[in-house]
Structure 1
Amino acid sequence: MTDDMSDKAALRSQLLAARARLTSHDVEAAGERLARGARELAELAEASTVAAYVSVGREPGTRALLDTLRVGGTRVLLPVLLPDNDLDWAAYEGAEHLAKAGRGLLEPTGPRLGPEAVCAADAVLLPGLAVDGRGMRLGRGGGSYDRVLARLARAGADPALVVLLYANEVVARVPEEPHDHPVHAVVTPEGVRRFERPQEPSTA
């Protein structure tokens, strides 16, 4: 295991332990504030299609945001975990159309649209455990969203990448590996922070 992988594992353990100490009330209150903050983020408010996910357990809540986006006319795509840890996608049609799946996840019951469907999204909401001042995200380590980001890059897609976190999860530094990709914004219950996108190299 490389030093960065070991550092990631230690940081994950620390942050997951902090989440485990949250009460249901803490999670619900934070979710409401996150939904309000995310609604004010132009990258989400102005998107025609948003690829998101259903929060579970002590994750920063997405449920209120999903409903707000859908009611406002935004097409919301939700992931369906495949056996190889890749992600298929289906449209969100309301909480009554979610079903329990493996690993404690909730997934949409509608028609599967294929792994490439995410490439049509104007914004992608990524799960995570932390982000640093450069926008580098720490995921859970399963690799599903690394595949999503690689798929977007291959397709030449450039959606806004947004992560929802608790305030203590914006950290000084996230250990990074070569395949890691920065996000463009983080929403916490305390507000929104954007990160500068890398400048495209000049062709002149």
Structure 2
Amino acid sequence: MATIAHSKFQYDQNCFTDFWIGPNDIKEEGVWMMDGVPIKHPIIWKPSEPNGLQYENCGAIAPIGVSDLDCDTNLRCTVCSFKDFQRFSFVGTCESELRNVYFTAFQLDEEELMFMGYGAYHIKRLNDTWAWINVVTNKTIAFLLESVPDFPMGRRWWQLEQPVCEQKDGDRRLLLSPCPAGYFSCNDATCIPLPHRCDLKYDCRDNSDEYDCKRIFFPQVRQ
């Protein structure tokens, strides 16, 4: 979201005709900028715009083009742009279908965070723990057994309440990881480059990159 628009005008469902889009010439009259960087591409202005001189320094868009308005005008709405969402992988049971593996974190309000799956699954707070839920059937698949005050990331023990993806119910150690391809996820969900896994050097803060490593020991060769 453009900095000037976001800082001055918050989202409201009752929008008027124009929308703040971020361009402004507050710093220097006639030099239109976006997030502090001069705009190089042409702006499609409404006829006879811009016309506000030093009194109208913020850009707003309407169906027929952009106009310059007083930055204190209460338009109520802004046009937003979003960066790519952080994708998480939930592995340990359903890797056969990628739509059941990938999740995206959403914060619905100041206190509620949930992970929305690409398929039928969500991970969200339920009472005092985290739950893995099938939102189609509205059934809880698993509960997080460990006490996690904020986030369920990392390798943790979950209690499967019902069979899922050919996995029987019972305790399972599952991984919710933000690490992209080419990285190893430590038990605490921090990411290290994959070549650092099993390299005889601790790179994870919890040393988990050196767990379960198969090593071959050669006898010393005497010359």
Q: Settle same-fold status: TM greater than 0.5.
A: no
Structure index of larger Rg = 2
| Structure with greater strand percent | 2
Which protein has greater RCO, CA pairs closer than 8 Å, 6+ apart?
1
| Structure with greater helix percent | 1
TM-score w.r.t. the length of structure 2 is: 0.29
TM-score w.r.t. the length of structure 1 is: 0.31
